Structure formats: C-alpha cells, structure tokens
Amino acid sequence: LFLDRSDAAELPIKFSPRYVGCYHCQILLKSSCDVRVYEIECVVNTDHVEAELEFLTPAYQAVIQDIPIRNMSSQDWQLEAVLEGQGFYGPPLINVGLGQTALYPLMFKPVAEC
C-alpha cells in the first residue's frame, strides 16, 4: 500500500518550552475505524553559553571556585571534566541527579606568577 500526498493530513503542533530538559507527549488520534497513538519526545538544550572566570591568588596558593551545574533533564547525569591549562585541578567525574544542582570545585594553584 502506497500513500500519496492526498492521503496525508497535517497536524500542526506548537511547542514553546520554558526550560531545558526532555519533554514527552502522546497524541491520540481516533476515528470510527482506526486508533493511533504517536509518541513525541523533544530534547531542549541551552544555547551555547560562554562564561569567563578570573582567578586572583598569590603564587603557590590555591583558590577554588565552585561552579554550579544544574540538571533540569529527566535523567541523572555523569559528566566528565576535561581541564586544559597549567595550574587547574578538579575531579575528573561529577554526578548530577535529575532536578538537582551540583557544585564542581575548580581549583587554580599557580606554581609561578602568571
């Protein structure tokens, strides 16, 4: 059985999420001779966000900045941190439960004036 465009029907949907996350929806279509359920999943990510941190500390003394990571999705996150640059330290993995905010402790400890 082949359907052409005359057998198709448009079903316009407007989706305006207020927050990042995973949104699930079911659409039930019924007629006298047919029942169909369509499941839709929309994943909303943030726009590309840039941040800048400035660390000021004497040489050989550490300063730690806790960076909040907020999980507004519907599943737990296990994030891997890749740090680049001399003198920066932090845990390689961080777990953020769904609906929770975790703090990533980014440490800067310069070994010389820089």
Q: Where are the domains of the chain?
A: 63-108
The confidence score (pLDDT) of residue 4 equals 64
Cβ-Cβ contacts under 8 Å for 37 (sequence gap 6 or more): 26, 27, 28, 29
> Could you tell me the pTM of the whole model?
0.56
C-alpha to C-alpha distance for 27 and 40, rounded to whole angstroms: 8
The pLDDT score that the predictor gives to residue 112 is 79
How much is the pLDDT for 73?
80
Instruction: Give the three-class secondary structure for 90.
Output: coil
- What Cα–Cα distance (Å) separates residue 40 from each residue in 24, 27, 33, 62? 6, 8, 23, 48
The pLDDT averaged over each successive group of 10 residues in the chain (114 residues) is 66 84 88 90 76 81 91 87 90 93 93 77
**Residue 17: predicted pLDDT:** 85
